[in-house]
Structure 1
Amino acid sequence: MSGEPPRQPKDMPGLLKFCLEATRGEDAVERPDDVLSSMDEERKAWLQEALNGMSVDVIEQLTNGMKILLSDTADLDQKEETLDCLEDWLGNIDNANNFHKIGGFSALKHCLNSNHPSLRTGSAHLVAELSQNNDYCQEKFTQDGFIQLLISQLDLDTDQACRVKAMYALSCICREYQPGLDKFCSLDGWSAVLRAIQSNEPKLRTKACFFLAAIATINSKIVEDLSKMGLVQQLSHVLHEPSDLTHEQVLHSILILVKQSEIARQDALLGELGLEKILNEKIVDMSGKEEFNESVEYCRQLLSLCFKEEESADR
């Protein structure tokens, strides 16, 4: 952006048409003039409010960016660069919210459905950034079907970077926004999170465990639901793998569950899991290595919480 003072929009109908033109498909037959004339007054006022809050420069940058992302003829490099620029342009909450009002989320959804991994990754990253501490964008992403798209990307995408960014985006939409979390649960999103934790991709496992722990810490109903799914048993199987840094997040997740749910604690005691044995082995294996200090502490807390109490009861 230039150092000149922002120019305020004067021709509001013209700017509305400019935004509508940006989101129009290249083969669409409907003209922006027709769309504008048929738009109800409430919707038109909503768009005008958004445009009033932005300079002409910002509107032009955003709408041109949208047009590039929706284009069938723009090349991949252009689209990748546009996603990077959008992150800079949408750095403040007002611009992020207004981006939705002028139709920008349709461009993000288009990129999430792209055949190019870089566009799926870039779009999911932008969804995450727009959602953080912004309940307006969280609401719109929830209403506009993004959660379902991102769960599918998390679960089925063949590109690991895309899966990692999808998990990041889901976490940002659903944390501290109950309607988003409810939608995520209704779409069986936790099963996809579990499969992410069971994957061999360290970044994906870490982000999935972080999301699980963040939600479980503040939502007792989710804890019970996850415990009934047998999550402790399934997480425990991951610990049978050779020790690595991702096990810290897995152990933390198990600890949060067993602290809050008797169902989870009873699952931890199941003999076939061999959890007590594996926790003791992990302590021996990881002790004395600074990077595993937290993991060792979680192991000790789990042993104390689950098995020492059990031993006392037996006596």
Structure 2
Amino acid sequence: MANPNVPRGALNLQNVLKYTVQNTDQNAEEKPIEAADDVEKKQFLESALSAMTDAPTALKAALVILNSEEATTDDKLESLDVIRSHIDDIDNANALVKLGGTVTLLRYVKDSENEIRVSALNTVAEMAQNNTFCQNALITEKFLPVLTKNLSEVNEDVVRSSIYAISSLIRNFQPGYAEFKRIKGIKALVPCLKSSNSNIYIKAAFLIASISRDKNIRDDFVKAEVFPVLLENLRPVIEFDVKQETTLFALSSLSLDSELKLSTEKRKEILSILQQIISKNKQTENCEDIVNYARNIVDNLSAR
């Protein structure tokens, strides 16, 4: 059955967007939109969307485009950009949920081409960050199983953005972490620590470090044998190295008050590397955190 709120005629993006704008501004003049080439259509979309200073209207228009079968890749990317430009405001992020935006985003997180998929994943991450309402909605809509499955994707940008989204859904949000644990998310995350892509490794290690301050979560990761996997990436450094800093951050978090199964020989080897890191970097600019994390691990291991 046809929707009476949609203008008659061919459902092209220009007419849909024009209709959305005109129904927000009752003083808008009817102007015929002639067939345009891709450049003209893109310019129309950009100018119309940017003219929408009212966030709910902009979000509605973006969703209309994302839900249209006529939308091109550029149309979809532009619409996702519009959404992302508004959802840093919590009220707007919540409004997106109420408009049915989670259903649309879930479809793109699952099925779209990689560039759009990454943008949709980043949108999910940004709307969920420190927002309990959105976190609950996204958990209810079963985003976490999809995001966790994405961790085994070949495309590295999809993997990295999926970790970002997972982080936003489970950090400081117990129901999110409980669901992540239930669906065996820890097991799915561990291979990311073995990735040759430094960005994926750093995202995964940082997530583990930041949520393992909670002892119950820390114990889950220790039982999953995450500590030895992180150790494989530990190297003596003589200058700032973001991968090593993140590795040390994660090891520091996991080693605190934990039942680590380390042989005497392995413990000595680790302590030796850590002492080298401390000795070589304690006077090095930008290495204060590296040295502090290394000292924390030494203290934690020596206390066992």
Please tell me the TM-score bracket, short chain as reference. 0.7 to 0.9
What pairs with 1:254-293 in structure 2 (closer than 5 Å)?
Answer: 254-261=251-258, 263-264=259-260, 267-272=261-266, 274-283=269-278, 286=281, 288-293=283-288
Matched, 1:79 2:76: yes
- Which TM-score applies when normalising by structure 1? 0.72
**TM-superposition CA deviations, 1:94-134 (whole Å, max 9, x none):** 23222222211111111112342111111111111111221
Aligned residue pairs total 254
Matched, 1:143 2:137: no
Name the residue aligned to 1:231.
Answer: 226
- Following superposition, the deviation at residue 214 of structure 1 comes to 1.9
- Following superposition, the deviation at residue 57 of structure 1 comes to 5.7
Q: Which among 182, 187, 190 is matched to residue 186 of structure 2?
A: 190
- Following superposition, the deviation at residue 293 of structure 1 comes to 3.2
Q: Which among 261, 280, 305 is matched to residue 300 of structure 2?
A: 305
Q: Tell me the secondary structure at the aligned position of residue 260 of structure 1.
A: coil
Cα 1:58/1:230, change in 2 over 3 Å: closer
Q: Tell me the secondary structure at the aligned position of residue 71 of structure 2.
A: coil
8 Å contact 2:76–2:116 — kept in the other structure? Answer: yes
Q: Which among 61, 79, 83 is matched to residue 64 of structure 1?
A: 61
Fraction of identical pairs, as percent: 25
8 Å contact 1:157–1:163 — kept in the other structure? Answer: yes
Name the residue aligned to 1:126.
Answer: 123
Between 247-256 and 64-73, the greater mean CA deviation after superposition = 64-73
8 Å contact 2:205–2:250 — kept in the other structure? Answer: yes
Cα 1:285/1:200, change in 2 over 3 Å: farther
Letter in 1 for 2:80: L
8 Å contact 2:252–2:297 — kept in the other structure? Answer: yes
8 Å contact 1:245–1:292 — kept in the other structure? Answer: no
Once residues 142 and 257 of structure 1 are traced to their aligned partners in structure 2, the CA distance between those partners, rounded to angstroms, is: 26
Once residues 296 and 94 of structure 1 are traced to their aligned partners in structure 2, the CA distance between those partners, rounded to angstroms, is: 41
Name the residue aligned to 1:251.
Answer: 248
Matched, 1:179 2:167: no
The structure with more helix, counted as a fraction of residues: 1
- Which TM-score applies when normalising by structure 2? 0.74
Name the residue aligned to 1:211.
Answer: 207
Once residues 248 and 181 of structure 2 are traced to their aligned partners in structure 1, the CA distance between those partners, rounded to angstroms, is: 23
Cα 1:200/1:241, change in 2 over 3 Å: farther
Once residues 134 and 277 of structure 2 are traced to their aligned partners in structure 1, the CA distance between those partners, rounded to angstroms, is: 42
Cα 1:253/1:269, change in 2 over 3 Å: farther
Once residues 94 and 17 of structure 1 are traced to their aligned partners in structure 2, the CA distance between those partners, rounded to angstroms, is: 29
Q: Tell me the secondary structure at the aligned position of residue 69 of structure 2.
A: coil
Name structure 1 gaps, 5 residues minimum. Answer: 1-15, 20-54, 311-315
Once residues 118 and 129 of structure 1 are traced to their aligned partners in structure 2, the CA distance between those partners, rounded to angstroms, is: 17
Once residues 270 and 276 of structure 1 are traced to their aligned partners in structure 2, the CA distance between those partners, rounded to angstroms, is: 11
Letter in 2 for 1:158: V
- Following superposition, the deviation at residue 145 of structure 1 comes to 1.0
